Amino acid sequence: MIVGEGTFRFELIEKWGQLPPGWRLGGDIPGVATDSQDRLYVFNRSEHPVIVFDREGRFLGSWGEGVFTRPHGITITRDDVVYCTDDFDHTVRKFTLDGKLLQTLGTPHQPSDTGYVKSAEYSLATIRRSAGPFNRPTKAAVAQNGDLYVTDGYGNARVHRFSASGELIQSWGEPGDQPGQFNLPHTLWIHTDGRIFVCDRENSRIQIFSPTGEYLGGWTMVGRPQELCIGKDGLAYMAVRHSVAGEYSMAGGLLTGTCPSHVCIRDLEGNLLAQFGGTEVGEPGSFASAHGICMDSHGDLYIGENGELALGRAGKVVPGYVSLKKMVRL
């Protein structure tokens, strides 16, 4: 199947990724990342949290068994260090490529005090104040100088900046929809020029900051941005959650636009260049909930979906639905 438009066309590789007999990928795959050798690391919610494939989809191994409470974001740095966020455990863990634990930021099972009530209907509206690390962190990223940034996320409304050794340098953000405020800072990407692009998901926008947290601008959009990566071509490739006009966000705000979950390509001013993803949830060419996205050195895309959650919310049963998709650039 060919998806995309114009000069941005991709071939969807059906049933990519080979697993040992009896193994399964989790129905929810919140994060994907590639290392310097184009091996893919699939951070999924199964008994094997990190599953590794080569570029052809051959199984190479797994790690993280018994470590995580609920996987969320995975990042692999230029020097092949792996950062994994656990949004139920309130931690960010640093690993080698083969899963050796190097460092843990945050105290397991001890969230910071923001007033957040997870069980509330509009849970983000219960965040009364910003706080320190962490309350359900979502994603980590490393800048050119080695500083580590973390979006903190479902139970907080902040970006935290750490030194390379893990010391907290600063934090910024508070609940809200004004510039520099957040309603679910879901993931972030640090561009080579130092700018920090934050997916402010429930505000349906990208916010852009300097390395020290000064607001530089942003773009609004239809749909809720879950993750973006910036390719060597200087364009942003984004995984976007669906939106339905008239429904409410997790912060209790009224959604004003309608779109299915999709992948879109934008320039760094936010101009839409292309997008793909059908309207029928669970059908080929459509996304149930595109959540994680990464690009390898060849320009091929990998998309992880929270398919099980999304299909359940949609009241659909799709036996054997594959929440991991590889798309080869044509």
In the prediction, which pLDDT does 129 show?
96
**How far is 48 from 7, CA to CA, in rounded Å?**
37
Number of domains in the chain: 1
Q: Which of 86-95, 106-115, 280-289 has the lowest mean pLDDT?
A: 280-289
Q: What is the DSSP letter of 201?
A: G
In this prediction, what percent of the chain has a pLDDT beyond 70?
100
Q: In terms of C-beta distances under 8 Å and separation of at least 24 residues, what long-range contacts does 294-298 make, across chains too?
A: 294/32, 294/33, 294/34, 294/40, 294/229, 295/34, 295/229, 295/231, 295/237, 296/34, 296/38, 296/40, 296/55, 297/34, 297/38, 297/232, 298/38, 298/55, 298/328, 298/329
Which pLDDT score is estimated for 282? 85
User: What one-character-per-residue DSSP string does 290-316 give?
Assistant: EEEEEE-TTS-EEEEEBHHHHHHHTT-
Average pLDDT over the chain reads 96
The pTM of this model reads 0.97
Read off the CATH number of the domain in which 113 is found.
Answer: 2.120.10.30
- Residue 15 pLDDT > 90: no
pLDDT at 187: 98
For 72, left (φ over 0), alpha (ψ -120 to 50), or beta? alpha
Per-residue pLDDT at 285 exceeds 90: no
Residue type, 315: G
pLDDT tens digit string along 148-179? 999 999 999 999 999 999 999 999 999 999 99
Check whether 3 has a pLDDT greater than 90: yes
Domain that holds residue 167: 2-329
In DSSP notation, 98-127 reads T--EEEEES-TT----S---TTSTTGGGG-
Report the percentage of the chain scoring pLDDT > 90: 93
Cα atoms found within 13 Å of the Cα of residue 214, Cβ hemisphere only: 5
Residue 284 has pLDDT above 90, yes or no: no
* Structure token digits, residue 276: 């793909």
Distance between the two ends of the chain, CA-based, in angstroms? 12
CB within 8 A of 69, min separation 6: which ones? 86, 88, 89, 109
Residues, the chain: 330
Q: Cis link prior to 134 (omega < 30° from 0)?
A: yes
Query: Whole-angstrom Cα distance, residue 42 to residue 51?
Result: 5
pLDDT in tens, 232-246: 999 999 999 999 999
Fill in the amino acid letter for 322.
V
